[in-house]
């Protein structure tokens, strides 16, 4: 306690804040990298004019609330005001589209990763570059706006992501960490910069369209992990803390995406390591020994926060439908006058899934809240399908919904087996793993890969962001990010590993066979329910 108080008073703590898809969370860490305080704010995306979006004023309100809650916790637990930290960093949902004019005015609504509205642009760029450009990437959104003839395009001075926007407003610097930048435009891992050949190809498209800028003129500068990326300005300090307590001048590390912070928070940045983030969306990141042999539209090629090539298997929806059903069960309990806390209800329902038939008794669930490019769906309609003789039990119902949360990921991961990509284990974090054992065990069987969960898994992205800020400010000359994490952060961190169970593996194989067979049913639901 005395050491923590001294660190707070002397400004030796480090702050990480992440703007996730459902929660904005701030984490303060001590000099030994352990979390000592946190604060959060819940928020949700909106579907406006058929666009999944968040309003930027909501981002600032949420960031301020999360920070205020963290500062209040510091005051309550340690009796001290939080006025300065040694370094800080900001992360957010990867991808998306935020365009601004030369005066800093927002030119279009924030188009998030969840949108599947750039199919034409993504397909054309994938063919041009011979490199998969997924629909949610920033460059796909930009090119789709160009193809659509949108009026705002000619006035673009700068485009960025959510974390890049927050960093810009707090420091004045238009930069991105390389991991986040790899979801904007393809990266050359040798140069830690945008791929020069592809930049030139895109500039030719801009010239053909008569647009008054080149790509590099409007994209953020790429920074590597450990690089300096500006300091908190007076205006930036007030944006975080309107009370005036937080002092300016704090070094800020390059902004990263939630995929990169997840890799850091699970120590999954070395080759043959991987992590899986399972929350609103689900994605696996595996650091490659060698590049893929060809282009797969189901797989993203991105990088770690220090520029190593990573294959990313991404599904737009994971726990959203599960969470919706849990809310229904909560309503039933309330109506019956029974009281269970939210964690108790989740634990009860998740553990029921372990009692289920291995193949879910014939039930098939689709959790699609939005389109899923991996399975060719442009839009989503959550759906439960069964035959009259299927075994509809609570246990089978829950297992089917957990399997549904993993299904698209498994379809993408199958390609990696064909490419002989080696991964020793996947380290899991996110909401699917909050109930001990269940999500971890079922995922290990579904993917046929050992799944580990660390004791620090609950801290997630904002902790990973704080670790990147710590690396920037504390690293020794020549000390790599891999060595820093392994030797200074994770040397004594415990983890629990679940190995694939043969019964689970066979049960999921039966489930996924029915799931694939029912994809036309999901498409029919999309067509029928406009």
* Cβ-proximal residues to 395 (8 Å cutoff; 6+ apart), any chain: 352, 353, 354, 355, 356, 357
DSSP-assigned letters across all residues of 21-53 = SSEEEEEEE-TTS-EEEEEEEE---EEETTEEE
pLDDT the model gives residue 410? 94
pLDDT the model gives residue 88? 98
Q: Token pair of 116, please? A: 């599947």
pLDDT the model gives residue 213? 97
How many residues are listed for the chain in this entry? 530
Instruction: Tell the CATH topology of 2-73+84-257.
Output: Nucleotidyltransferase; domain 5 (3.30.420)
CA distance 479 to 497: 29
Hey, which residues does 256 pair with through a beta bridge?
91
CA dihedral for 482, 432, 165, 473, sign (positive or negative): negative
For residues 254 and 224, the answer to whether their CB atoms sit within 8 Å is yes
- β pairing state of 158-160 and 193-194: unpaired
| Helix axes 394-418 and 320-335, enclosed angle (nearest 10) | 170
CA distance 255 to 239: 17
For residues 495 and 427, the answer to whether their CB atoms sit within 8 Å is yes
Instruction: Tell the CATH topology of 267-456+500-530.
Output: Nucleotidyltransferase; domain 5 (3.30.420)
Q: Token pair of 146, please? A: 């160009």
| Helix axes 56-78 and 2-10, enclosed angle (nearest 10) | 130
Extents of the domains making up the chain: 2-73+84-257, 267-456+500-530
Domains 2-73+84-257 and 267-456+500-530 share a fold: yes
CA distance 93 to 313: 16
pLDDT the model gives residue 90? 98
CA distance 119 to 131: 15
CA distance 493 to 465: 18
For the question of whether the overall pTM of this predicted structure is more than 0.95, the answer is no
* Cβ-proximal residues to 73 (8 Å cutoff; 6+ apart), any chain: 37, 38, 39
Q: Token pair of 306, please? A: 């220090």
CA distance 220 to 440: 37
Q: Token pair of 420, please? A: 């002989």
Q: Token pair of 389, please? A: 């003789």
Q: How many CB atoms lie within 10 A of CB 110?
A: 23
CA distance 168 to 521: 45
Longest Cα separation, the chain = 67
For residues 60 and 66, the answer to whether their CB atoms sit within 8 Å is no
- Name the H helices within 392-491: 394-418, 438-447, 460-474, 481-484
For residues 123 and 132, the answer to whether their CB atoms sit within 8 Å is no
pLDDT the model gives residue 298? 83
Residue (of 514, 17, 465) closest to 259 by Cα position: 465
Cα 460 to Cα 30, 91, 332, 428, 465: the distances in Å are 16, 12, 32, 10, 9
Hey, which residues does 38 pair with through a beta bridge?
27
Q: How many CB atoms lie within 10 A of CB 247?
A: 15
At 295, phi and psi to the nearest 5? -85, 130
CA distance 16 to 288: 27
Q: For each successive 10 residues of the chain (530 residues), what is the average pLDDT?
A: 95 97 95 95 93 96 98 97 98 96 97 92 97 95 98 98 98 98 96 98 97 98 98 98 97 96 92 88 90 88 94 90 96 95 96 98 95 89 96 98 96 88 88 90 95 76 96 96 95 91 97 97 95
CA distance 72 to 224: 33
């Amino acid at each position: 306690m005395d050491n923590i108080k001294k660190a707070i008073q002397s400004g030796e703590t480090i702050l990480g804040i992440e703007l996730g898809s459902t929660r904005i969370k701030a984490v303060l860490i001590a000099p030994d990298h352990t979390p000592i305080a946190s604060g959060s704010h819940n928020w949700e995306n909106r579907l406006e004019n058929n666009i999944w979006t968040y309003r930027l004023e909501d981002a600032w309100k949420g960031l301020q609330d999360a920070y205020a809650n963290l500062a209040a916790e510091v005051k309550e637990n340690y009796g001290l005001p939080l006025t300065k930290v040694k370094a800080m960093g900001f992360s957010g949902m990867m991808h998306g589209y935020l365009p601004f004019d030369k005066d800093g005015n927002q030119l279009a609504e924030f188009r998030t990763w969840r949108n599947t509205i750039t199919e034409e642009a993504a397909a054309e760029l994938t063919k041009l570059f011979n490199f998969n450009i997924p629909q949610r990437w920033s460059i796909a959104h930009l090119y789709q706006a160009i193809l659509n003839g949108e009026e705002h395009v000619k006035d673009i001075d700068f485009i960025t992501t959510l974390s890049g926007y927050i960093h810009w407003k707090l420091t004045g610097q238009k930069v991105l960490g390389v991991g986040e930048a790899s979801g904007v435009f393809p990266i050359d891992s040798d140069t830690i910069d945008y791929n020069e050949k592809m930049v030139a190809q895109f500039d030719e498209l801009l010239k053909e369209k008569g647009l008054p800028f080149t790509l590099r003129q409007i994209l953020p500068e790429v920074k590597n992990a450990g690089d300096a990326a500006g300091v908190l300005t007076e205006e930036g300090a007030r944006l975080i803390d309107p009370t005036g307590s937080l002092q300016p001048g704090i070094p800020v590390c390059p902004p990263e995406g939630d995929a990169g912070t997840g890799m850091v928070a699970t120590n999954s940045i070395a080759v043959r390591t991987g992590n899986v983030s399972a929350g609103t969306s689900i994605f696996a990141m595996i650091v490659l020994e060698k590049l893929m042999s060809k282009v797969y539209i189901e797989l993203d090629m991105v990088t770690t926060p220090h520029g190593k090539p990573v294959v990313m298997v991404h599904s737009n929806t994971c726990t959203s439908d599960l969470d919706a059903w849990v809310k229904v069960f909560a309503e039933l309990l309330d109506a019956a006058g029974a009281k269970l806390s939210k964690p108790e209800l989740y634990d009860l329902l998740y553990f029921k899934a372990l009692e289920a038939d291995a193949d879910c008794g014939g039930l098939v669930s689709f959790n699609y809240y939005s389109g899923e490019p991996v399975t060719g769906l442009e839009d989503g309609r959550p759906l439960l399908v069964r035959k009259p003789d299927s075994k509809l039990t609570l246990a089978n119902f829950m297992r089917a919904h957990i399997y549904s949360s993993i299904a698209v990921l498994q379809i993408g991961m199958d390609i990696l087996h064909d490419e002989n990509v080696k991964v020793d284990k996947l380290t899991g974090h996110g909401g699917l793993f909050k109930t001990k054992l269940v999500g971890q065990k079922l995922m290990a069987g579904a993917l046929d890969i050992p799944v580990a969960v660390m004791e620090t898994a609950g801290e997630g992205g904002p902790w990973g962001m704080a670790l990147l800020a710590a690396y920037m400010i504390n690293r020794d000359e020549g000390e790599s990010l891999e060595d820093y994490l392994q030797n200074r952060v994770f040397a004594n961190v415990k983890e629990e590993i679940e190995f694939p169970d043969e019964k689970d593996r066979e049960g999921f194989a039966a489930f996924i066979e029915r799931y694939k067979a029912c994809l036309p049913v999901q498409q029919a639901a999309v067509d029928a329910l406009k």
